[in-house]
Chains A and B, each alone.
Chain A
Amino acid sequence: MTIRLACHVGIGPAVQGVALVADDNFSARYDLDRVNGVFSRPQHKLFGQSYRDVILVLNTAKGGVATAWMLHEMVSRDMAPKALLLNAANTILAQGAALANMAMCDRFADGDVTRLIRTGDNLGVDPAAGLVTITGREGG
């Protein structure tokens, strides 16, 4: 199966990986234990799950500005997601992705990206083209 999802032109390199999806928001400071690479905020829908090397698919940003530095710091320790896909990024996530050279896309033409993509989907992300491709899905 192949499903192509058009989005706004994003930031960062083209990557491939496995999706981790939640209808929830994102802040590196508010939500993550960045030492151990897991979601640490008890109220987050991905609480306890590892974010390392996955393609995170979430709704939007929350909170403050720290994520702009933190994505860079996480990448430097190889303790980062491969990409961030969002319905609507805020300025901080875009700025952080730019510094960290992390793939990031938002504003999907077909609707809510947290419903279009499922946890475990194999994805290709091409920010320069504004395109995310679902290349494999369990049972699909």
Chain B
Amino acid sequence: MKLDDREQAMLAGEMGPSCQWAIEHQMQVGRMFDAADMVPVSQAHMMADPESLGEAGVAFVERLAADGGSVAIPMITDPRGVDLSYYLPLGQTEAMANLERRFTAACRAMGIMMTDTCINYQTIMPPLYGDHVAYGDTGVVIYSNSVCGARSNFEGGPSALAAGLTGRTPRYGLHLDQNRRATCRFVVDDRPQDLMQWGVLGATIGRMAGSYWEVPVIEGIDGAPTSDEIKHFGAAMASWGSTPLFHIVGVTPECRDLADVDGAGLPARRVTAEDVNDLGAPFGAAGEPVDVVVFAAPQLSLVEMARVAALCRGRSRAASTDMIVCTPAQVYGDARQLGYIEDIESFGGTVLTGTCFYQQYAREIAEANGWSRLLSNSAKIVNILGGYGYRPALASMEDCVASAEAGTVIDRRPA
């Protein structure tokens, strides 16, 4: 890889050992993907929950901080694994909380802003069209690439941290024009009607695309979805397909028409109601007792909080069914002021701040709380949690709240 003078100095250790580690790490990854050089990035965003890090990862980050590591660009964080104001009632341990505290202290020492959110594009500072960034969290990356027109690969925690320290990232993948063109083309029969359906459609296309290196272009979505709708669509697509970028003809900014993304010559594949139902059907559980209802993955926007609160108002959950709602601190303050938190808590729900359910030692909290059957309107979370021992099920937001009230799954999706 070609390095400029500053990058050569980093590699020689002139910027300190933490920066030296960072650029060595980036060069290893860059060589694997044939990067010719580095590209400056304006922001970094790091996923690093303590379950993923473990003791080894926390100690690693502490060493970088102790060695004088300091971020060169604005750097923010994905949801944490422990809400330090509510962890013992969730069945999390003091050891888990201590890992969280140690990691947070190390990040702050390096100048990282602990925003703890996976919806930074709705709450912090959305990237601009053409902006090169180094983002973690697949939902953040796919939204930023597709909806904002920014440029990021999936940057796992170590690589996002390296980008924060160096202020650049290897120029490969979606930083290059040629990798942003469509490689597969889908025509959607039916426009989704709610957030859950948007997620299931995204998941269906992600599963069909099937690889990080595929770029779907989608026809049949007339008119712009809302930010929350396309958030669920993208997050689910990224989860099911490891997909970092999609285009919707006439909607997303790089694709006014098929020709913009070289999509006209691609064979079109229909996405039918049957395709969508095939993906969602295994997550049906109507009539079964439900242990926990979860609204998360992605964290809820203020608009979603308003909708959940409105559904909860004047009702209460069944004693046998817990309800967890995850939102970032940036939303929580407004939601508290607007009365949404009180509505949800009066229902019997628990609002967690700065976390996301599946990043919170999901296996351990399931065992501690006796949770097995989980219900959510997130097509992303139901894809993740099977490996953690849950029996995940899908329903609309309205049916999720109704299920929490009834204690059994209410799912009014068409069979």
Complex contacts, A44 vs chain B, CB 8 Å: 387
Verify if B86 is at the interface (C-beta below 8 Å from A). no
Neighbour of B56 across the interface among A32, A61, A63, A73, CB < 8 A: A73
Asked whether, in the complex, the Cβ of B239 is within 8 Å of the Cβ of A73, the reply is: no
Residue A91 at the B interface, CB < 8 A? yes
Given contacts A65-B138, A72-B57, contact A91 B47 (CB under 8 A): no
Q: Which positions 124-172 of chain B face chain A at CB distance < 8 Å?
A: 136-138, 153-159
Interface flag for A109 (CB, 8 Å):
no
User: Is B28's CB within 8 Å of the partner chain A?
Assistant: yes
A68 interface contact, C-beta 8 A: yes
A4 at interface, CB cutoff 8 A? no
Contact assessment for B213 and A99 in the assembled complex, using a CB-CB cutoff below 8 Å:
no
B289 part of interface (Cβ distance < 8 Å): no
Task: Indicate if the CB atoms of A9 and B389 lie closer than 8 Å.
Answer: no
Within 8 A of B (CB), among A1-56: 8-11, 25, 29-33, 35, 40-44
A29-B384, A98-B29 known; A91 and B54 CB under 8 Å? no
Within the complex, what minimum Cβ distance (angstroms) separates B109 from chain A? Answer: 19
Q: Does B307 contact A (CB under 8 A)?
A: no
**How many residues of chain B have a CB within 8 Å of chain A?**
45
Contacts of B32 in A (CB 8 A): 8-11, 89, 94
Structural contact, A29 and B52, CB atoms closer than 8 A:
yes
Contact status A65-B157, CB under 8 Å: yes
Cβ-based interface call for A62 (8 A): yes
Cβ distance B338 to chain A, nearest Cβ, rounded Å: 31
Cβ of A129 within 8 Å of any chain B Cβ, yes or no, is no
Given A69-B158, A72-B60, A96-B156, A63 contacting B384 (CB threshold 8 A): yes
A11 touches B137 (CB 8 A): no
Q: In the bound complex, what is the Cα–Cα distance between A25 and B153 (angstroms)? A: 19
The prevalent SS among residues of A at the interface is: mixed
Q: Which of B54, B358, B386 contacts A76 (CB 8 A)?
A: B54
Instruction: Please state if B28 and A88 are interface contacts (CB–CB under 8 Å).
Output: no
A91:B57 contact, CB within 8 angstroms: no
Interfacial chain A residues near B238, Cβ < 8 Å:
63-64
| Bitwise interface map of B from 226 to 259 toward A, beta carbon under 8 Å scored 1, else 0 | 0000000000001111100000000000000000
Bound together, the chains give a CA A99 to CA B24 distance in angstroms of 10
Asked if B211 and A60 make an inter-chain contact with CB atoms under 8 angstroms apart, the answer reads yes
Q: Top 3 nearest A-B pairs by Cβ distance?
A: A68-B156, A76-B56, A73-B54
Q: A62-B242, A63-B242, A73-B54 are in contact. List 20 more A-B contacts (CB 8 A).
A: A10-B32, A30-B383, A40-B389, A43-B386, A60-B210, A63-B238, A64-B47, A64-B137, A64-B384, A69-B47, A69-B158, A72-B54, A72-B56, A72-B57, A88-B211, A91-B173, A95-B155, A95-B158, A95-B159, A96-B156
